[in-house]
Structure 1
Amino acid sequence: MLGCRSRDTRPEKVLRSLLHAMGLRFRVCARPVAEVRRTADVVFPKARVAIFVDGCFWHGCPEHYRLPRTNTAYWDDKITGNQTRDRQTDELLQEAGWTVMRVWEHEDAAVAARKVALAVSCAHDDKSLR
């Protein structure tokens, strides 16, 4: 597990590259809410949009995750704990007024980038109406 990257994974880099090409500017690997000790992969502070790029294995993708054959109790607890923490993170950020988006590593990055751009655009539009 020490060799697993916690940031700058290939899916993250591809998504960030596409977002940057769209003219969007963002923070990388940042805490959306300073008091909450959770780090999002891509953060749009002004729009209050936080993006998490989740790995299929580590976050228990319903489509691709397969429980390892060895040490199953450990891995089941580990992945379940990750999923619980993900839900808590979503709730904490939403309560603080953030839009939270989760992108699976297997998703088409171009489609995900368009969804993110739309969310950021909508968030900016909502703020201009206030």
Structure 2
Amino acid sequence: MVDKLTPQRRSRNMQAIRQKNTKPEMAVRRLLHALGYRYRVHRTDLPGRPDIVFTARKKIVQVHGCFWHGHDCLDRMPKSREEYWLSKIQGNRERDERNRATLEAMGWEVLVVWECEIKNTTVLASTLTGFLGPARVGTVEGRPG
């Protein structure tokens, strides 16, 4: 199937897609903050620049978009350039797994939150608190309060 958009328009659309501070990521960050957690974001000294980092706890929360990271909740693929998209998403999944393995080898624990899981904030809050443990109210992770 042929792309319905011109190459210039498709390029503009793709450039508008954010790599960080995405809507799903911001929703998780707001929830974490409301729960009393403090964190760092996009640490460049860690593999893959993790989305949300809890330095003192050595824990990381990665927020993945279901399409871009190949979550199994989606069973559709773009109709145009299927080979390209299959390769792109498979490459993203392999990169994610390499980064996760490297982080875990460095002693970090990693939780992946999928975009589709953000809709139910009650379940998400329970998952996050189960992973992170109690919040240390009034302190920033990794810094004295």
State TM-score, norm by structure 2.
0.76
Equivalent of 1:62, from 72, 79, 85?
72
Shift of 1:28: 1.6
Equivalent of 2:128, from 106, 116, 120?
116
Rounded Cα–Cα distance in structure 1 between residues aligned with 2:28 and 2:122: 7
* 1:13 partner SS: helix
Equivalent of 2:105, from 95, 120, 127?
95
Mark the runs of 5 or more structure 2 residues left unpaired by the alignment: 1-13, 137-145
* Cα distance per residue 1:26-76 (max 9 Å; x no partner): 012224xx2x44111111011011111110110111111422111111111
Rounded Cα–Cα distance in structure 2 between residues aligned with 1:120 and 1:113: 10
* Rg (Cα) greater in structure: 2
Matches within 5 A, 1:5-20: 5-20=18-33
The answer (yes or no) to whether the contact 1:60–1:79 under 8 Å persists in 2 is yes
Higher strand share: 1
* 1:106 partner SS: helix
Q: Percent identity?
A: 37
Rounded Cα–Cα distance in structure 2 between residues aligned with 1:74 and 1:109: 34
4+ runs deviating over 6 angstroms: none
- Give the stretch that moved more between structures: 82-91 or 64-73: 64-73
- Give the stretch that moved more between structures: 109-118 or 50-59: 109-118
Residues paired across the two proteins, number: 120
Mark the runs of 5 or more structure 1 residues left unpaired by the alignment: 125-130
Q: Which residue of 1 aligns with 2:92?
A: 82
The alignment's C-alpha RMSD in Å is: 1.8
Q: Which residue of 2 aligns with 1:127?
A: none
* 1:101 partner SS: strand
